[in-house]
Amino acid sequence: KWLVDGKEILNQGLKQFSGCFQVFTGVGPKIVIPNRFADEIRNDPHMNFGKALSDEFFGKYPGFEPFNSSAESTIVADMVRGKLTRSLGLILDELSDESSKSIKYTLGEPEEWTEIPIKLKIIHLISRLSARVFIGEELCENEEWLTLTENYTINAFIAARELREWPTYIRPIIHWFLPECRQVRRDIREARQIIMPVVGKRRERNRKAQEAGQPTSKVADTIGWLDEAAKGRPYDVAIAQLGISIAAIHTSSELLTGIMLDLCANPEYFKPLRDEMYTVLGEKGWRKTSLFEMRLLDSVMKESQRHHFGDIASMSRFVEQPITLSDGTTIPRGALTVVAIDRMHDTSIFPESTAYKGRRFLDMRQQPGNENKWQFVTTSAEHLAFGHGKHACPGRFFASNEIKVALCHLLLKYDWKLPNEDRLEDKIFGQEAIVDPDAKVLFRKRIEEV
């Protein structure tokens, strides 16, 4: 029942109980914590996100190892916070160049209105953009690697959904035989075959440089950054790279697809967005501050994220030691918990919360004291799309830049509209909420003004 009616079950629980309550999910019981406790638990050292992710996506099973990497070490998170985020200003030109090239490759330049499955095209685009930054020159245009990262991202989620439909006691056996699980194991093997020769050559080159007393080469991509962040700690390169790809491709492609569908359903935002892009890029080009000044774009993205957050709950945690909330509720060791996101649709915070208002967060930021609170990358108890606290998504700053750059190219180079008046509703699979993969849009080339 959870797989089909998870959202309704959560809503019923929130209406029935004022405090914590338990739901039975595809991976076992979870305790739903009311949103009012989000700030209270956001930095609790006894609540572990990595272990919760591993449990949700069977990270201990072969083929699902990328979902277990953050449970076993902080190397990837350290790399994202310490290297990737600090380099964002330096890679804007790269993102723009790759966006221009990849969009033309993915979409072409049709003169007439052309119908496409928007989600599939966005996945292709995001995988190429991410590869340009993450994997370096050796592999960013390697079609085998690009196809693999796209496919693994899709295959892993499908395999996890399939596995959740089986009873807990049979999963350790049945996963060896399910076609979906066998496929993700093949994907892992292929990833190793592609990436390990590249990593091996780099490490051998650096070893020889050290022996000769020469400085080692430092390449600005995640292959080199992971080695630096590891500081000698052992880690699996292929698993780490697939984990990074999952986070980048799945979350960014879901959101960018949702934004494009929202704009097609609310076409009145196309002109003011393009005007903002023309003004900022015409005056400043791709500088570090350019994207910050696209405040309407930032607001549109956050509003789409509010409507199409990829889960029906947030802040998934595994409780490592018993914790007691301020209302006296004790949550036992070993529990899986989530925080309700009902305040993201609370009319006292977001008037007309069911309506799509692209200027909503722009207007809220204009209120005294709120200039920074409602930015796309800012987390709060009222907007939990990136989580909150110490485990908030560390890659959200890169995702913000990547999506903004892509949107500039998509909107300035093409016209967009829906084939019909209504957009398709999102699909719910247990705790997941995804944009319908069958959604179609119409597009055509337009004359660029910048």
Instruction: List, in sequence order, every residue forming a beta bridge with 31; answer none if it has no partner.
Output: 22, 337
Binding-site annotation, residues: 393
How far apart CA 304 and CA 262 sit, in angstroms, is 7
Buried b (16+ CB within 10 A) or exposed e, 384-399: bbbbbbebbbbbbbbb
Cα 34 versus chain centre, distance: 24
How far apart CA 402 and CA 256 sit, in angstroms, is 10
- The strands making up 440-445's β-sheet, listed across from edge to edge, are 114-117, 440-445, 414-417
H helices then E strands: how many in the chain? 16, 12
Tokens of 286: 């791709």
Scanning the structure block, which residue is given the tokens 């780490």?
Answer: 240
Binding-site annotation, residues for heme: 393
C-alpha atoms less than 13 angstroms from C-alpha of 340 in its C-beta half-sphere: 27
C-alpha atoms less than 13 angstroms from C-alpha of 410 in its C-beta half-sphere: 27
